[in-house]
Amino acid sequence: MILYSALVFAAVFASGTFLLLQRDLTRVVVGIILVSNSAVLFIISAGLTRGVAPIYPREGAGPVSDPLVQAMALTALVIGFGVAALLLAMVYRLYVTHHTVDAEEIADYEMRQAEALERADDPEGEEVPAEEQDAEPREEAGAREGSEAR
């Protein structure tokens, strides 16, 4: 029994870890769910004793199975559920803004953005784009005035 639960724990944990290392963010979330559920399995196997259900008042004599691990497993499950929902919401948010859930594509996009910001920060390069930006609205404004006049 202990061997079987250890094997199941190992299999779940390993597949969770494998998914965590993927580029697809939804797979990462599934990986985290699997890993946290493997922890629940581990908790249950940590107190694996046979006995009657631990409900008070006790019916019949004999050993009682450990109620503490069940309480812990339940708490861990609830926490894992809440966090999984939060992670999925974050992935959805990333999908809405980037139209992809691929970690590397999102990172590339951010790299380009950071470079653009750095160029804007650079004191030497700053003047030229600033003038251009200033110039464009003026022309546009002029064009608009012209069109209104017409």
Q: Using alpha carbons only, how large is the chain's radius of gyration in Å?
A: 29
Give whichever of 64 and 76 is closer to other proteins, judged by the CB atom: 76
8, 20, 64, 77: which one binds other proteins (CB under 8 A)? 20
Q: Cβ atoms within 10 A of the Cβ of 33, count?
A: 18
Q: Select the span of 54-62, 94-102, 133-141, 142-150 touching other proteins (CB under 8 A).
A: 94-102
Closest residue by Cα to residue 70 from 58, 78, 62? 78
Q: Is 68 in the site for other proteins (CB under 8 A)?
A: yes
Angle at CA of residue 8, ends 18 and 48, nearest 5°: 135
Question: 25 to 44, contacts with other proteins by CB under 8 A?
Answer: 25, 28, 32, 35-36, 38-39, 42-43
Picking from 122, 100, 104, the residue whose alpha carbon sits closest to that of residue 112 is 104
Least distance (Å) between residue 115 CB and other proteins: 13
CB 31 within 8 A of CB 37: no
102 strand-pairing partners? 24
Residues of the shown chain interacting with other proteins in the complex, contacts defined by CB under 8 A: 20, 25, 28, 32, 35-36, 38-39, 42-43, 46-47, 68-69, 72, 75-76, 79, 82-83, 86-87, 90-91, 93-94, 97-98, 106-107, 110, 113, 123
